[in-house]
Amino acid sequence: MQAKGIVHRYGDNVDTDVIIPARYLNTTNHKELAAHCMEDIDADFVKKAKKGDIMVAGSNFGCGSSREHAPIVIKESGISCVIAKSFARIFYRNAINIGLPILECEEASEKIGAGDEVEINFDTGVITNITKSESFQAIAFPEFIKNIIASGGLLNSIQKDTAK
């Protein structure tokens, strides 16, 4: 599994209320929710984000409430992976549960800039900044997480396993 895209860069402590403001949580339509992703800190994010792009952030990404809407709107916005120094634990689990790849890598988080083109190999955990010709090593996903992500989330993975 691989991802390749342009980077959208954010800082530390990006909380779930910033990822998807609570004022929009009166709908369950994922596309409608995604239209408001990151708008309070990056009003142009939804206009700039393209399918396959990558989000890079600092420490404690996804802190705040435990709402699963946050990783859903990031994924629905076209982001193929989020790289950060660290993630809030509930956000981390929610992201995997919905099939959004996320990688913790302090060096990549510090050195990758907005607009850089990045490629990620999820099998090896290698993150390559094509723009700057730099590579970083994150921890590769274990097989069971790769299966969850490849299936599009935990529920789809369970359904596939049950159907076998």
State the amino acid at position 77 in one-letter form: S
pTM of the model as a whole: 0.94
Is CATH 3.20.19.10 what the domain over 2-163 is classified as, yes or no? yes
- Ordered per-residue pLDDT tens for the chain, 164 residues: 899 999 999 999 999 999 999 999 998 899 999 999 999 999 999 999 999 999 999 999 999 988 889 999 999 999 999 999 999 999 999 999 999 999 999 999 999 999 999 999 999 999 999 999 999 999 988 999 999 999 999 988 888 878 87
Torsion, Cα 126 102 55 24, to 10 degrees, reads 170
Neighbouring residues of 102: CB distance < 8 A, sequence distance ≥ 6? 71, 81, 82, 83, 84, 87, 92, 95, 96
The domains of the chain are located at 2-163
